[in-house]
């Protein structure tokens, strides 16, 4: 069953950060580590900035989440609860073939928000390699990095795919998510690979990309969509099961739940 949460952009970022933080501590309590897949985009950026700042004490409980009482909660000063950074391992859901300093680089955005301002450890951040100019080879390289990580016993999967604790996803105007685009049957029908290369000439910007495959996303323990107000109605339609033809509508976690965190639109954006 999927859940639906909507609020103002500012409040939504705090509520999303609260859920991520609660999920992180529960994962550390249960399995000794937290595996997080990050998305790009403006809405996720606000959430990452909130995670970097930490959460005011009481916000988790106010948002309806609880924490394992047996764990120590690192804090910034006396007011903020932060993620368990030492036990948090961060992966990318997709990446464009652009330099890290480019405004469309997902890694660049993650680095500026969660590494420079937050507490993500460099050795815990698994970056998609996009410098070689050989997308197919890069996809295999990143897939092997993920396989090596899970082979270490840090959350080894009991199936042909890994089980990330939480995968964050965005939503495009055309219903794409990660870098899985409508009509790209080869990518959408992939059933064995963990990471795939895609050519996206109609995307913004038009360039090659790497992306996690749909089976990897659907084997996650939990999936979170982070959606801006302008895509509220599209998100609602997908959430309600009306658009199974779109890539975002194909996200159905096998063993977990998809949670939709959607910014509240102004009344004039809503159809009567």
209: pLDDT strictly greater than 60: yes
Its domain, for residue 201, covers: 3-7+24-41+83-265
Helix axes 42-53, 9-31, angle to 10 degrees: 60
Asked whether residue 142 is assigned to any structural domain, the reply reads yes
Question: How many separate helices (H) and strands (E) can be counted in the chain?
Answer: 8, 13
pLDDT per position as a tens digit, 19-69 = 999 999 999 999 999 999 999 888 899 999 999 999 987 788 888 887 776
Phi, psi of 10 (to 5 degrees): -65, -50
Within 8 A by CB and 6+ apart from 63, the residues are 14, 15, 18, 19, 22
Most confident of 196-200, 202-206, 223-227: 223-227
Which letter, b or e, does each residue of 104-130 get, where b requires 16 or more Cβ atoms within 10 Å of its Cβ?
A: bbbbbbbbbbbbeebbbeeebbbbbbb
Total tally of structural domains belonging to the chain: 1
Asked whether residue 54 is assigned to any structural domain, the reply reads no
116: pLDDT strictly greater than 90: no
How many residues can be counted in the chain? 272
What is the CATH number for 192? 3.40.50.1360
Asked whether residue 69 is assigned to any structural domain, the reply reads no
Model confidence at 78, pLDDT cuts 50, 70, 90, reads low
Share of the chain above pLDDT 90, in %: 73
pLDDT per position as a tens digit, 11-30 = 999 999 999 999 999 999 99
CB-CB contact of 95 with 205 (8 Å):
no
Within 8 A by CB and 6+ apart from 259, the residues are 2, 3, 5, 19, 222, 223, 224, 225
Asked whether residue 182 is assigned to any structural domain, the reply reads yes
Asked whether residue 136 is assigned to any structural domain, the reply reads yes
Asked whether residue 47 is assigned to any structural domain, the reply reads no
Asked whether residue 19 is assigned to any structural domain, the reply reads no
In whole angstroms, give the CA distance from residue 11 to residue 257. Answer: 22
Asked whether residue 66 is assigned to any structural domain, the reply reads no
């Amino acid at each position: 069953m999927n859940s639906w949460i909507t609020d103002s952009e500012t409040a939504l970022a705090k509520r999303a950060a609260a859920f991520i933080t609660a999920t992180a501590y529960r994962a550390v309590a249960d399995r000794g580590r937290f595996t997080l897949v990050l998305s790009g985009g403006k809405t996720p950026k606000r959430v990452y900035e909130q995670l970097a700042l930490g959460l005011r004490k009481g916000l988790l409980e106010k948002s309806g989440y609880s924490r394992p009482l047996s764990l120590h909660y690192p804090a910034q000063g006396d007011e903020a609860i932060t993620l368990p950074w030492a036990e948090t391992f961060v992966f990318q859901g997709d990446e464009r073939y652009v330099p890290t300093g480019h405004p469309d680089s997902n890694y660049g955005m993650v680095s500026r928000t969660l590494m420079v301002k937050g507490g993500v450890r460099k050795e815990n951040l698994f970056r998609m390699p996009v410098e070689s100019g050989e997308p197919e080879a890069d996809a295999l390289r990143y897939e092997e990095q993920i396989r090596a990580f899970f082979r270490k016993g840090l959350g080894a999967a009991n199936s042909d795919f890994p089980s990330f604790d939480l995968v964050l996803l965005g939503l495009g105007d055309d219903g794409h998510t990660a870098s899985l685009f409508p009509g790209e049957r080869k990518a959408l029908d992939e059933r064995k690979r963990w990471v795939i290369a895609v050519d996206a000439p109609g995307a913004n910007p038009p360039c090659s990309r790497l992306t996690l495959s749909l089976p990897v996303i659907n084997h996650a323990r939990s999936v979170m969509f982070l959606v801006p107000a302008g895509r509220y109605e599209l998100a609602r339609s997908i959430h309600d099961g009306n658009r199974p033809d779109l890539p975002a509508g194909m996200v159905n976690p096998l063993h977990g739940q998809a949670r939709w965190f959607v910014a509240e639109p102004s009344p004039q954006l809503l159809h009567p």
